[in-house]
Structure 1
Amino acid sequence: MIEFRSLADDEPALSFSPLLRGVLKTYAYVHEHGSIGLTPSKAFKRNFVHWAAAAFDWPGYTEDDLFAVNKVLNEHDFMPLGDIHFLLTSLKMGRHYKGDFKLTKSGSDLAHQPGRLFGILTPFYLFEIDHSSWSRTPREPVPGNWNIFLNVLNVETEDGAAGQHLRQILFGEPDSSPFPRYDEMMGSLYTQVLRPLVWTGLIQETRPGKSFRSQESVFTKTPLWKAALKLETDSMVQPATRH
């Protein structure tokens, strides 16, 4: 069973969450400017997307990363921002009104409660959003469930584990082939499980050199994982390595 602990608003481990940081910075922007302008298709306008790219400093989606492949930024070019927009409207923390995005009263009330906000955002983001839409084979959920994934990762990523190792533990070795080919199962594991956990700040991804292969990345639990999650496999993690 997956249980999230309630976190105090001054919990230092909350600083590990890019998702929480992005939401709080979005809140701050709206409080300063009153609203965020929307395009006719109801996406955030470019001026805010450009601001968010610099302000969020999102791992793998920094301002430099994004402008290296785009001359201008639309919301769909900055995937984490699209997720934040969807989260805020789905959870009724924000709404569209006459061409602008505004915070609701309930959303505004959470602006100074980061511990509570994390506790609302993270379970919804992990468990309720269909992350398979980002996969090369959309609408095909990775086999398994979050109870399995989190309990296995609780043990395997205590001291860091390569993506290829996690793929093998959860799904076995990929089929052998005389030619290099894309591992769809690894790709699905990354986009549907590992990356969402990285974006919530529960685990960190360390890439060797300039590699973009998730098989080679090392995934490690952050202090936020240990502060926020209570799992069945906690007893299997060696006490000597826990902080």
Structure 2
Amino acid sequence: MIEFRTVADDEPALNFSPLLRGVQKTFAYVQEHGSIGLTPSKAFKRNFVHWAAAEFDWPGHTEADLFAVNKVLNEHDFMPVGDIHFLLTTLKMGRHYKGDFKLTKAGSELIDQPGRLFGIITPFYLFELNHTGYTRFSDEPLLGNWDMFMNILNVEAEDGITGADLRRTLYGDPDQGPGPRYDDILGSLYINILRPLCWAGLLHVDRAKGFQSTERSLFTKTPLWKAALKLETDAMVGSATRH
């Protein structure tokens, strides 16, 4: 069973979460400017997306990364912005009003409570958001569930595990072909499980480059994992050392 601990507002491990940082910076932008402008399709306008690209400091989606492949940035060009927009409106922390996005009373009350904010947005982001929207394999769900994945990672990622080793632990070796080939299962595992956990700040990835990069990338639990999660496999990784 996955249980989230209450995280104190001054917990240093919260700094590991790009998701929390992005939400907090979005709140700060609305505080300063009053609102975020919306396009006719109700997406965030480019001026905010450009600002977010510079300010969010999102791993793998820095300003340089994004503008290397885009001349301008719309919401759909910066996936985390779209996730945050959906998350805040769905959780009723923000709303659309006359062509703008504004914070609700519930959202405004969380501005100075990062620990509480993390505890609200993270379970929703991980377990409710449809991460398969970013993959062409959305009609082929992974065998398993979040409880299984997180309890296995709790043990296997304690000292770091590569994508290839995690794939092998969960599903065995991929079918061998005459040459290098894309591993659909590992790709789906990364998009649906590993990347969301990294973006939530619970895992850290030392990202390898080139073809088959996920196989060679190393995934390790961050201090936020231990500060925020209570899992059935804790006894296997020394739960007595937890605070």
After TM superposition, the structure 1 = structure 2 runs for residues 46-125 of structure 1, keeping only pairs within 5 Å, are: 46-125=46-125
| One-letter amino acid of the counterpart of residue 163, structure 1 | G
Residue number in structure 2 paired with 1:201:
201
**Could you tell me how far apart the structure 1 residues matched to 2:232 and 2:16 are?**
23
**Could you tell me how far apart the structure 2 residues matched to 1:241 and 1:208 are?**
31
**Could you tell me how far apart the structure 1 residues matched to 2:73 and 2:236 are?**
45
Residue number in structure 2 paired with 1:34:
34
Residue number in structure 2 paired with 1:191:
191
**Could you tell me how far apart the structure 2 residues matched to 1:144 and 1:239 are?**
24
Deviation at 1:241, TM superposition (A): 9.1
Residue number in structure 2 paired with 1:2:
2
Q: Which shows bigger deviation, 206-215 or 194-203? A: 206-215
**Could you tell me how far apart the structure 2 residues matched to 1:210 and 1:240 are?**
40
Find runs of 4+ consecutive structure 1 residues off by over 2 angstroms: 208-212, 238-243
**Could you tell me how far apart the structure 2 residues matched to 1:212 and 1:38 are?**
38
> CA 1:55–1:186 in 2, change beyond 3 Å: closer, same or farther?
same
**Could you tell me how far apart the structure 2 residues matched to 1:131 and 1:171 are?**
20
Deviation at 1:240, TM superposition (A): 10
After TM superposition, the structure 1 = structure 2 runs for residues 121-132 of structure 1, keeping only pairs within 5 Å, are: 121-132=121-132
| One-letter amino acid of the counterpart of residue 76, structure 1 | H
| One-letter amino acid of the counterpart of residue 110, structure 1 | L
Residue number in structure 2 paired with 1:225:
225
The answer to whether the aligner puts 1:141 opposite 2:141 as a matched pair is yes
**Could you tell me how far apart the structure 2 residues matched to 1:42 and 1:215 are?**
38
Secondary structure class of the residue paired with 1:64: helix
Q: Give the % identical residues.
A: 72
Residue number in structure 1 paired with 2:237:
237
**Could you tell me how far apart the structure 2 residues matched to 1:150 and 1:68 are?**
34
**Could you tell me how far apart the structure 1 residues matched to 2:208 and 2:193 are?**
20
User: Deviation digits for residues 139-165 of structure 1, max 9, x if unmatched?
Assistant: 432110011000000001001110000
Deviation at 1:15, TM superposition (A): 0.4
- For structure 2, the residue ranges without an aligned partner over 5 or more in a row are none
Secondary structure class of the residue paired with 2:192: helix
> CA 1:238–1:105 in 2, change beyond 3 Å: closer, same or farther?
closer
Structure 1 length-normalised TM: 0.96
Residue number in structure 2 paired with 1:23:
23
Structure 2 length-normalised TM: 0.96
Number of corresponding residues:
243
Deviation at 1:12, TM superposition (A): 0.6
Residue number in structure 2 paired with 1:160:
160
User: Deviation digits for residues 187-229 of structure 1, max 9, x if unmatched?
Assistant: 0000000000000000001013566721111000000000000
Q: Are 2:54 and 2:63, in contact at CA under 8 Å, matched by a contact in 1?
A: yes
Q: Which shows bigger deviation, 179-188 or 94-103? A: 179-188
**Could you tell me how far apart the structure 1 residues matched to 2:129 and 2:72 are?**
28
Q: Are 2:202 and 2:225, in contact at CA under 8 Å, matched by a contact in 1?
A: yes
Q: Are 1:136 and 1:184, in contact at CA under 8 Å, matched by a contact in 2?
A: no
Residue number in structure 1 paired with 2:150:
150
